Chains A and B, each alone.
Chain A
Amino acid sequence: MDEIFILAEHIKGKITDTTYEILTLGREISAKMNRPLKAVLLGKGVGNLAMDLGYADGVVMMEHDLLANVNIQTWSIALMHIIKEKKPEMVIMGSTNSLMGLGSYIAEKMGLPYMNLCKGLRVEDQQVVGNAILYGGKIEADVRPCAKPILVSVRPGNYPGDPARTRREVPVECVTPPDTLMEAKINFKEFIQAERKDIDITQCDVLVAVGRGIQNKENIVHAETLAKIFKNAAVVGSRPIIDQEWLPLTRLVGRSGMSVRPKLYLALGISGAPEHMEGMKGAQLIVAINKDKKAPIFRIAHYGVAEDLFKVIPKLAERLKK
């Protein structure tokens, strides 16, 4: 009872990055409130994934065919049952595409408080307070639940996942699936991997962007080197780069191209034309490298480096590879 639960998310047999992030958060809360941290694992044949959740103190598992792949309806039935049985203090889940709607559905069904859009949680006087981001990041809100158990949805990218990637054996409590699971009206059919001639840059976590400061097509290899080191990264460009066909149209960021909000936007030799900034100013972390310290990009970047990018990039690549 009163334990801190996090909901483990898995896709195609792998625990997602966001799950590790909320494990880190869960561990923080668990330490501050002195409660055990448990990971809720729903699925079919997922016993082997329990070890990946070893950062928690234990795993609460429910297995059934209908839970094999994430499905808002079956997973909400399962989770509601677990909440009723185990009476946790809170259930933290990631604000991810596949879990979209889960927290809201359960909150309404069970009359529970739901703190949505959170970038973080903190504990004040043994009470949890959520820090939510509204209106595309323009307003933050501190929110507090009025009842228990508490449901929380945390946005990806706010906690480091790496500390939580510990594989170790932890006790697994198995929960019998409720009969109501069979009443589900939604069935998972299949995964579809999109056939793309090129990647969808709006789905990348890291974008290494080149502007005219890259000087010529051959130099783009510097950006590619960096992109390869990061996960889920791609090289993109501003208008002049695409116009000169140094990169295809699918890599254009800006008014006439894509609007992107990656975790990291590394702008190399980009001055920051208004049309370009429109397409990337929503990025979570903007780091700009441009020789010109007056370049407009520095107005919206979080960190700036007014140095020759050709001097900095090789050093950066070297260190990141370690």
Chain B
Amino acid sequence: MKILVLIKMVLDTVEEIKIDPSGKKVDTDAARFILNDVDNHAVEEAILLKEKYGGHVTVLAVDAPEIDDALFTAAAKGADRIIKVTTGMEQMSTQTMAKLLHSAIQNMNTQFDLILTGVQASDDIDGEIGPSLAAQFNLPYIGMAVKVLPDPQGRSTEVVTELGGGLYASYRSSLPVIVGISAAEKPPRYVPIMKVRMAMKSKKIETIPAPAPPPGSKIDVLKLYKPVVTGGAAMITGTPEQIADNLVKIFRDRGLS
């Protein structure tokens, strides 16, 4: 089975996020980037499928700060090919990235059975990678997957998605299909740093140069800003009855009761 996993880096929110002077972009100079958590699950799911059914796993990403680490870690976990698309473009919206990945994948000339990606990311202001690619490739898309059960001979797969509150839905799709992973069947494994370092020495990240794409986004960012944060809790005082009244009002305003 040939599996393709698409990953991307997102801003690491452990650090303070700064908005650049234009007010329309994030200041990435001092920012740190981390692998999108559900993309890590997508990698894990791909490796689990490979361990179970055999096959080949390719991990593809658009070049971004700290992506090399993520790619080598994927290789240390068992990915066969690790590839990044270089454009020289610094920040791009998700839809623009999807267009870039689309042409890169087309040029790879490989027939993939399964394309996995994390179902969403914290900067998906104009869409998600999975469905955008599905639309471009005219492939079916299933999101919020927590289990993938392929039947390679039958050229189909079952996918279980989580609807929330303990309810799941099961779908059957023909292959190839693009699946947005919400959680891998097992929590992403830990790779000893030694193994990642060994991967850095023994594996190479293939690069695919691509021209900077035209913006794929049909929305304009007017401005970015930090949400108004009051310092600490707004304290509610009074008699227990008054406090309770106040709380009920707050809950009702939020549609909670």
Q: Count residues on chain B whose CB falls below 8 Å from chain A CBs.
A: 78
Instruction: Name A311's closest neighbour in chain B (CB-CB).
Output: B240
Of B140, B168, B173, B232, which one neighbours A192 at CB under 8 angstroms? B168
Say whether, besides A135-B123, A264-B251, A315-B240, A73 and B140 are in contact (CB < 8 Å): yes
Q: Does A59 contact B (CB under 8 A)?
A: no
B120 to chain A, nearest CB (A): 7
| Interface secondary structure of B, over-half rule | mixed
Q: Does A116 contact B (CB under 8 A)?
A: yes
Residues in B neighbouring A230, C-beta threshold 8 A: 256-257
Residues in B neighbouring A192, C-beta threshold 8 A: 160, 167-170
Residues in A neighbouring B172, C-beta threshold 8 A: 186-187, 189
Residues in B neighbouring A160, C-beta threshold 8 A: 253-255
Q: Count residues on chain A whose CB falls below 8 Å from chain B CBs.
A: 95
Residues in B neighbouring A316, C-beta threshold 8 A: 243-244, 247-248
Residues in B neighbouring A206, C-beta threshold 8 A: 256
Q: Does B125 contact A (CB under 8 A)?
A: yes
B28 to chain A, nearest CB (A): 12
B194 to chain A, nearest CB (A): 26
Q: Is the CB of B127 within 8 A of A107?
A: yes
Say whether, besides A134-B122, A139-B225, A97 and B140 are in contact (CB < 8 Å): no
Say whether, besides A101-B180, A298-B232, A196 and B166 are in contact (CB < 8 Å): yes
Q: B residues bordering A, Cβ < 8 Å? A: 10-11, 13, 17, 19, 26, 95, 98, 119-120, 122-128, 130-132, 134-136, 140-144, 158, 160-174, 177, 180, 182, 217-227, 232-237, 240-241, 243-245, 247-248, 250-251, 253-257
Residues in A neighbouring B243, C-beta threshold 8 A: 305, 307, 312, 315-316
Q: Does A203 contact B (CB under 8 A)?
A: yes
Q: A residues bordering B, Cβ < 8 Å? A: 11, 21, 69-73, 96-98, 100-109, 111-117, 129-130, 132-147, 157, 159-162, 184-194, 196, 199-200, 203-206, 229-230, 232, 263-264, 285-288, 293, 298-307, 311-312, 315-316, 318-320
